[in-house]
Every structure is written in structure tokens, then in C-alpha cells.
Structure 1
């Protein structure tokens, strides 16, 4: 056996996600690089670690045992690194944050300077839909979650970071839209919705119900990027968070359509379980945000206030 720590890490991420593509995204590697290392790792065992059926990868029972062993080994390696850095009086440890998909346009800007100040902090950032984010928090698998809608029936504490504004977006302007009732406007649009469990979809559906809006046709897509590209292609329109539209608005690929009772306003909030005992890294991050979040908003989101 002559496998490397890098191969253990790659196999563990593939096993956790049952996807080479997802593992590549998490590890910031290309898909071919992950596939090659996975093949080299597998070659060192006489028993299969994975099985392929169609385009889906499955982890065998033996593979699951190896994945558990890999997790234990990597945890010990991390512990050695943390202890070494701690001996040098440096902040060390993992910071685990789950983020709803649109939050990827927000969270990195509130992390960048903190990570530069503390280079030995390891960030684990999971970007997924609202349902999974809340489940991660409920199971105490993360330090913090970033959401735009606070979870119901959960006791959490929060720190508000940034106002979230959602507008009706189309590929081109609609003549006299501000003089048309919302019901008349939506009746002539194909509405693009996110998947069930998405916070953006929840906000959109609440707006439609609250304003008693009828619409003739809807399509469902599974990411904000997919929705944006569909709008650019002329397939339909949607209500989307402004935070993810900067480049498309600057390039005139998308247009904000004035409509009564829009924008919808919520708040991007960092939340955590009430009475949670934070790690030293998590505590340090909260202190950092308290001191610097206003400057971050001013420096990074100045364009945002113009809408």
C-alpha cells in the first residue's frame, strides 16, 4: 500500500457525496484530476471500493469501511496540524458553515479578511438548499448557517449581515410594466421557479399568494444560475435576489421589471443553535464580524444600495 493523504481526502469526499463532480467542486480540483486519483487509489485494493451504474457512482460496503478509516486518519492529521499551530500561539481549528445557494454571493466577502488574518483556520463551506442547511444546523453539524429566512420551530441566535432584496427579472424590459397590475403582468409570463426546499421559491410563492396573483405557466429549475441563464435565453421570468445579478445587470443581459409590492425584502443572517458552545475559532469569527461587518458592507456591497 502506497496511497497518499491527498488520495484519502479525494476518496472520502467522493464517498460522502457519491459524486466525482461534487467532490471536485469541494476540493477545488478538476473532475479528471479527481477521477485519476480515485483510479490510482482503487488500484491499491483487490476489493472494489466503488461501483458504477449508468452515470451514478455507488460506494461498496468495503468502500464505506475504507472511507471511515480515511476520515479517522485525516482527523488525526488535522489534529497534528492544529496542535503545531497552537504551540506557536496561532488560531487554529475548523470553521464549518452551511450556506443556502444564493448565499454564495454573500458569505465569501464576510470570510475573506478573517481567513487572511488566521491562515491556519480551515474553512468548510457547504453550499446547498435551505432544507439541507437547516437540517445541518439542527443536527449540530456546523458552527453557523447563512439563511435569508429564519427557520421556524427552532431556537436560534443570529447576527444580521446584509439586506436581501428580490425583484422580478426578465431578459428584456416590459413596456409600461409599472402601469400594469401584477396579476395582468404575471398572466403573460412563464414563471421560473426553484426546486422545493429553496428559500427563494418560498419567498416567491408567499408573494404570489399574498397578492392573489394568477399565472398561466411555470417551469422548475434547480439552481439560481440555471434560472438566470434560462431568463437570458428568453425562456421565462422569475423573482430573484438582487445579490446574484450584479454582472448580468451591468451587461444588460437581465432587466429588473418594476412591479407593485416589489422588491421583497428579507435579511441575510448568520444563525446558530441557541446556547451553542462555540469553538475558539467560531468565537473569534463572531468577534471579527461584530467589529468589521459594517466596513465589509460599505466596501464590498456599495453597488447594492443603488437599486
Structure 2
């Protein structure tokens, strides 16, 4: 089934001057259609996402991480199997369950910890990276070098999900309607345990969550709270948390982020995220001008080699 799936990509509609954001809960399809061939793939003005989004398989050879989380690519990526004893991959039609082997191993460890510490059957894994990383046709600005992964805040069911369920099912919204705190009807100690387990992984550099989730973690964490420094508020993480790991040892072409200091739990740390301007943003007086998409010329030079390299044998 997987070999058939990876040779098809969902054709996602593009908005004028940009793309329609593929949010974590956007539904997929069990019958994805291939992206159409490019009329001029050598056009220097062509968005790099159009090139990377059409690569269905990784390159052969050893893993090589090039660039930064939001501007780079990966050679020799590995695929997280769509089913494990304690994990399942969602939205298979996106073909985004590729990453550096270190991230694959971390997710496998985390899924086992979730089973042990939170009492969950396992985790549901969302977007990781494309087969060769790079910008995506839709959605994330990061996830480009195989060192990012999304984990749903919905426990894995104790059964194998169908293809239809993986494309249609939505994760549970964890944030209260007023956006000021978590929803106590769905938030459990198990959610804290899973995020804590991820943050305590030595290689984890950042975990992004909704500010209301960060607020709950700050309030409820006991004992050693040092892991809270890695957990940071960010937009669009109401249903899932985003794991980012540091560059692999010896990966001189990879650029990490500096570590964060402090728990990030003070009133001043969180004030911005609960300000009226953030919770209830006013529409702009003038429509925003479309941003220029990232072209291959704006990416690390070696990403051209990654695009041109032969496919790995599957």
C-alpha cells in the first residue's frame, strides 16, 4: 500500500500569490492525485516548494542535513513506518513522514514513553518532512531539514486506524473557546506527561504549543521543572505539539537555534500571548501584499544537488 501511496501526492489548491495553508487538522484524501508536471522547472522565479513537493522519494546515501529548519533540505532521509506498536502516522496522503534517523528514533522512544507514563496506547504522528525536505506546497514554513515533527494531542486509539480515518479524523481541540486556558473537559495529566517526556529528551531543542497549553504546563508541572524552558508558545498548536531537535553531531551544514533560558512561566513571559491584540486581532486596514515565495536561489546551494540526486531504492 505504501509504495502505491508515495507515487501520488494530493494536488492542493493554491491561493493567489501564495498557497492555502494546510493546517494540522485539514483533511486528506484516500485517493490523492499527482501534482501536474511543471511547464518550466528551470524557471529561476519558480517557488522551490514546487520542486521539493514533487519529489516522492528521498535520495540514496547517508543522511545529510543542509541549512536551517525554515530554509534547507535533507538527503538520505528515513521514513517512519506508518504503523508501530505504539504509534500510527496520520494524513498519509501528504507523504510527510520522512526525517533524519535521529528524529525517527526519538518518535519511537517517545511513543513507548507515552504508553508507559501517560497510559496512552501510543501517539498519532502528523507532519514531519517531505522526502527531501525543503519548503512544502502548503502549510509549514519550517519542517524543511528532517528535524521537526508534529505529534497530535489525541491519544492513539487501541486499534489500527483505517486509511479513511487517518485522512478524515480530527485531533481534539485542547484550548478553551475564550483562548485563555486549556479545556478542562479534554486536558488530562497524560498530556502533561507526554509533552514532558518529549522535552526531557536531550536532543530536543524546542517544543511549540498553544499559549494556553504552556500556561497549563507551568501551573501543573511538579518536581524538576527544567524541561519547561524548551516548551514555548506559538501560533497554530491547539491540537498538536511540535518537536524540534538539534543538529546531528558533525552536521556542519546544519544550523541549530540557541537554547532558551528560564521556564518561560512568568506573567510577563505569557502576557503577549493573552493580550487582546493577539486573542482578538483586528483585520488589516489594507489587504496584505502577497509574499514572494522562496526560490531555489534563496536556499543553501547544495539543495540543488539534493533535488537532482537519484531516488533511493525502495
TM-score (norm 1): 0.30
Greater share of strand residues, 1 or 2?
1
Q: Which has the larger radius of gyration?
A: 1
Larger relative contact order (CA 8 Å, sep ≥ 6): 2
Greater share of helix residues, 1 or 2?
1
